[in-house]
Amino acid sequence: MSGPNVARLLAGLALGCLIAMGALFVSGVKAQETDVRCGPRADLVKLLKSQHQFPVAIGMVSDQMIMETFVSVDGSWTMFFTGTKATSCLIATGNNWAFNTKPLDDAKKGSSF
């Protein structure tokens, strides 16, 4: 798949995620163990730091949005989107986060998955 096609695919997936998030929020589904859905990024980061979570991943969804993942040493994790106006919305939370960097490390060395 070429670069422009990958970009279109990722943009479509991001849009699908946003639509799904909107449907969940409208239907009243809450993120695990919290009522926080959207708010200032600084407030969310402060809350996550108080829960001993720290940033482990960040990626651009589009030129208007990033996605971040925060994780604690006990394995709890939080994913959220942040827009250009520094408003963040939770995507998901959970437990038992684990890292497996071997496939990425191998790919960087030229190995296939």
Backbone angles phi, psi at 40, to 5 degrees: -60, 135
Quote helix, strand, coil % in the chain, to nearest 5.
35, 30, 35
Whether the Cβ atoms of residue 110 and residue 95 lie closer than 8 Å to each other: no
pLDDT per residue over 15-52, tens digit each?
444 444 544 444 444 444 445 489 999 999 999 999 99
Q: What pLDDT is stored for residue 10 in this prediction? A: 47
Q: pLDDT at position 113, please?
A: 55
Q: What pLDDT was estimated at residue 106? A: 85
Q: What is the pLDDT of residue 109?
A: 87
CB count within 10 Å of CB 5 equals 9
Query: What is the pLDDT, as a whole number, of residue 37?
Result: 81
Q: Tens of pLDDT along 56-111?
A: 999 999 999 999 999 999 999 999 999 999 999 999 999 999 888 888 888 888 87
